[in-house]
């Protein structure tokens, strides 16, 4: 369904602690200021069912969770989000801004866990039914800086134990970041790397300079 008669599907990606969630919010606000209708969503989560799945995935008590289970749960949450929120919003011509999508599974489960891109894409065909982002902004940050930010956020968030994935080894996170770089090399039109090292406002300007031409090329919905 990648035609001009539906809305635009934009995803944000990036290593843990890259600031992509802040960028997703700033982008959605900017699009609304431009008069566009925007659905903001996030993964894993996004729906009530997805939030429950997120609880299993990120609970640091769930150390025995296997890579394949992790992959299937990521896509279970995604399938619910695609059917419940994303496709209906796109059918109404809205712009959907989604904080993480299948590229996260390629990076973390495909590369980080070593399950491979082909396995991830095989599940994607079932769960997403051909839906793919029109544009992806990947907020890039070096692994150590990102993890330091993620860990300090976890420490100040003691009531939630959503840290199982942040706690993985530096090597795991380096593999995920390398997979993002490979996606940028393979799909340069869709998948854009953004240097995430500046202030949030400076990074938001870089994001907007990638998004604006794509949004303004579409008829106003
Ligand atoms: P997120 O809520 O975006 O947290 P953060 O802001 O710390 O990046 O994502 C939670 C974790 O889930 C994060 O470590 C990335 C991981 N993840 C995957 O491993 N695979 C996926 O498909 C998705 C969507 C997320």
pLDDT of residue 1: 47
Rounded mean pLDDT of 16-38?
A: 97
Task: Specify if 130 maps to a domain.
Answer: yes
In ligand 1, the atom with minimum distance to the C-alpha of 162 is 10
Per-residue pLDDT, 208? 98
Tens-place pLDDT, residues 169-189: 999 999 999 999 999 999 999
Largest CA distance in the chain: 49
Instruction: Tell me: pLDDT of 26 over 90.
Output: yes
**Dist CA 62 CA 155 (whole Å):** 19
Whether 140 is in a domain gets the answer yes
| 29 is a domain residue | yes
Q: Identify the pLDDT of residue 4.
A: 47
Asked whether residue 220 is assigned to any structural domain, the reply reads no
The pLDDT assigned to 152 comes to 86
Ligand 1 centroid – CA 104 distance (Å) = 7
CATH of the domain at 65: 3.40.50.300
Model confidence at 220, pLDDT cuts 50, 70, 90, reads low
The CA 195 to ligand 1 mean position distance, Å, reads 19
219 CA → ligand 1 middle, Å: 33
Q: Is the CB of 77 under 6 A from ligand 1?
A: no
Tell me the pLDDT band of 44, cut-offs 50, 70 and 90: very high
Over 70: is that where the pLDDT of 103 sits? yes
Residue 3 lies in a domain: no
For residue 116, being part of any structural domain is answered with yes
CA distances from 31 to 106, 194, 211 (A): 28, 18, 9
Q: How many independent structural domains does the chain possess?
A: 1
**Residue 74 CB less than 6 A away from ligand 1:** yes
Mean pLDDT, residues 188-197 taken together: 97
Domain membership of residue 2 (yes or no) is: no
Q: What is the pLDDT of residues 7-22, one digit of tens each?
A: 999 999 999 999 999 9
Looking at the chain, the whole-number percentage of residues with pLDDT higher than 70 is 95
The three-class DSSP label of residue 152 is: helix
Q: What is the pLDDT of residues 123-173, one digit of tens each?
A: 999 999 999 999 999 999 999 999 999 988 877 765 457 889 988 999 999
Cα(77) to ligand 1 centroid in Å equals: 12
Taking Cα atoms as reference points, which of 168, 169, 194 lies closest to residue 181?
194
> What pLDDT score does 153 carry?
82
**Residue 161, domain extent:** 8-215
Cβ–ligand 1 distance for 108 under 6 Å, the answer yes
Per-residue pLDDT tens over the stretch 51-89:
999 999 999 999 999 999 999 999 999 999 999 999 999
Rounded CA gap, 204 and 199, in Å?
8
Ligand 1 centroid distance, CA of 147 (Å): 12
């Amino acid at each position: 369904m990648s035609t001009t008669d539906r809305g635009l599907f934009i995803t944000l990606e990036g290593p843990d602690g890259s600031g992509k969630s802040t960028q997703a919010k700033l982008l959605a606000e900017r699009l609304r200021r431009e008069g566009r209708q925007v659905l903001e969503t996030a993964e894993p989560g996004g729906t009530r069912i997805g939030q429950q799945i997120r609880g299993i995935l990120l609970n640091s008590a769930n150390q025995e969770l296997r890579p394949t289970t992790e992959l299937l749960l990521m896509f279970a949450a995604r399938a619910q989000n695609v059917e419940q929120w994303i496709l209906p919003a796109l059918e109404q011509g809205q712009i959907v801004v989604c904080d993480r999508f299948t590229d996260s599974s390629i990076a973390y489960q495909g590369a980080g866990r070593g399950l491979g891109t082909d396995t991830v894409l095989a599940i994607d065909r079932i769960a997403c039914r051909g839906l793919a982002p029109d544009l992806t902004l990947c907020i890039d940050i070096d692994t150590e800086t990102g993890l330091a930010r993620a860990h300090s956020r976890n420490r100040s968030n003691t009531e939630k134990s959503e840290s199982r994935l942040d706690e993985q080894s530096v090597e795991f996170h380096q593999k995920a970041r390398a997979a993002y770089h490979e996606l940028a090399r393979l799909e340069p039109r869709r998948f854009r790397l953004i240097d995430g090292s500046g202030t949030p406002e400076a990074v938001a300007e870089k994001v907007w300079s990638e998004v604006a031409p794509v949004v303004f090329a579409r008829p106003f919905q």
